[in-house]
Structure 1
């Protein structure tokens, strides 16, 4: 940090450190007080409709690709955690670090912008944290009649941490959509087909079996009615092509619907406190990272929960 001193009135390192910590604490406390209003404006009705309206358009294509890519990204993140303290595998860590999270959807970018402008900067055009730090330091420097505080140093420190934390927050949108899909498939399978379908794969297998039975009954030599009765007792095995095509269609449909699911599930998550806890966690990690000048430590667990559900769906469907 800036350490300009005067022979007559030196500033101690302890004073500078205390001022910086006080400015950081005051800034993040003010951010936390803005969380309830932020959630009310953007995740409750009618704000949730405006927030998720961005999904109309190219997001209908980006969302399916992101959901299919999500397991790869989650595996890369897990790999980085496992090998981060192994110098011999630094090359593998660098490779995993270059794995992208997927396409940034319009909804994800919109919410990131809202967090940055509305929550972190309180509607101000520039980084508000800088103002808190500079104000705290200038009060110390003013008492010692020293030079003004250098602003550029704070920008260099803060901007990468905020950018990485918001990138991780965007990943939670894909994970939340995937978890929503799993729950929706389970409910749909239970009520519509009386089957346990814990995900898109399980639902695809059930629909593929129904499609195979329908096609076999239609082509039955004694007629469709008798064929339907016969295959209800001796169901045919769907071909690999039928199963794969139905499964892909189901996954694509679910992912497209997930692009708009925030209209329903954002208010639900807001009501049960998920958005509040997630935003508080983001601020807690950012405060710690800024305080100790380290790399971003915000790594939400939503994507790992979503991947566990995917694995269970695959095991239940007999794919692994």
Structure 2
């Protein structure tokens, strides 16, 4: 169709305009403000989104199409300013203001949700790199990094408070390590999780250009256009693999942290 072909021709220009620098920087300026508060909440709501999508898929397989569609179209995550700006750009530049239907709204929400999941995975990769360099440990997230950070803080505090000076303190605690208290470990986990989720609000500054270079954004936007053009007879929302991967990373993060705490 001529309209569909015209929309697809606009995708490459859209990706360059919004996902490469300086467009990505302009897009994420919207995150300064309320998005910093919404980011930690969305991290907590992400497993609920995954559960809703899986439940919807299972309902459709069981013949409960109406219930499955309802679950599949629930918008679980809080709508951030960055997402609102991106959705407005998609409607204005790719859809010409169209897709004001339940199916179109769900397709756009799934696209932006997948992009948010990639931002979480970006933070997980950063945590892996920091853990490998600083603690020589596998840390696929902020929770598994927390015991190492808490240990470092506890040791530095103990050395600074050693009555015979810091030099002897380092020697003493090199032989008799000072372990972190449960309170310090808990506060460290909380602080790092909040820090990671806030950083996730801006992770797209790095993640978007990489995905643009790899053609990921182009493929996702073309799938979005296909879903919108298919209308009510098209594909129902399914669980995006980015959400599944992000939740698997969260699970491994929690398990590694629990193992380290039990060993300690």
Deviation of 1:231 after TM superposition, in Å, equals 2.8
Q: 1:72 to 1:243 in 2, by over 3 A?
A: farther
Partner of 2:95: 120
Is 2:220 the counterpart of 1:274?
no
CA distance in 2 between counterparts of 1:83 and 1:235 reads 54
2:76 to 101, 111, 121: 101
CA distance in 1 between counterparts of 2:20 and 2:117 reads 20
Deviation per residue, 1:132-154 (Å, 9 max, x gap): xxxxxxxxxxxxxxxxxxxxxxx
CA distance in 2 between counterparts of 1:94 and 1:114 reads 26
1:310 to 229, 246, 250: 250
Is 2:201 the counterpart of 1:201?
no
Deviation of 1:36 after TM superposition, in Å, equals 0.4
CA distance in 2 between counterparts of 1:224 and 1:68 reads 41
Do the aligned residues in 1 keep the contact of 2:57 with 2:72 (CA within 8 Å)?
A: no
Deviation per residue, 1:37-60 (Å, 9 max, x gap): 111111112211211111111111
Q: How many residues align?
A: 259
Partner of 1:5: none
Is 2:126 the counterpart of 1:184?
yes
RMSD: 2.8
CA distance in 2 between counterparts of 1:87 and 1:269 reads 37
Deviation of 1:221 after TM superposition, in Å, equals 5.7
Q: So what's the TM-score if we normalise by structure 2?
A: 0.85
CA distance in 2 between counterparts of 1:231 and 1:84 reads 60
| Runs of 5+ consecutive residues of structure 2 not aligned to the other structure | none
Do the aligned residues in 2 keep the contact of 1:285 with 1:297 (CA within 8 Å)?
A: no
CA distance in 2 between counterparts of 1:100 and 1:235 reads 48
Deviation of 1:99 after TM superposition, in Å, equals 6.5
Do the aligned residues in 2 keep the contact of 1:66 with 1:174 (CA within 8 Å)?
A: no
CA distance in 1 between counterparts of 2:175 and 2:258 reads 22
Deviation per residue, 1:180-233 (Å, 9 max, x gap): 110011111222333321111112221012122223334446554333333334
CA distance in 2 between counterparts of 1:228 and 1:95 reads 60
Deviation of 1:299 after TM superposition, in Å, equals 4.3
Deviation per residue, 1:91-145 (Å, 9 max, x gap): 8x69966965221100011111111111112xxxx53x8xxxxxxxxxxxxxxxx
CA distance in 2 between counterparts of 1:48 and 1:30 reads 24
Flag the structure with larger Rg.
Answer: 1
CA distance in 1 between counterparts of 2:94 and 2:182 reads 50
Q: So what's the TM-score if we normalise by structure 1?
A: 0.71
Deviation per residue, 1:49-75 (Å, 9 max, x gap): 211111111111111221132123223
Partner of 1:174: 116
Aligned-partner SS, 2:258: coil
CA distance in 2 between counterparts of 1:100 and 1:297 reads 11
Deviation per residue, 1:237-261 (Å, 9 max, x gap): 3222211111111111122222122
Partner of 2:41: 65
| Runs of 5+ consecutive residues of structure 1 not aligned to the other structure | 1-24, 130-157
Partner of 2:50: 74
Aligned-partner SS, 1:242: helix
Do the aligned residues in 1 keep the contact of 2:128 with 2:139 (CA within 8 Å)?
A: yes
CA distance in 1 between counterparts of 2:135 and 2:123 reads 17
Do the aligned residues in 2 keep the contact of 1:108 with 1:173 (CA within 8 Å)?
A: no
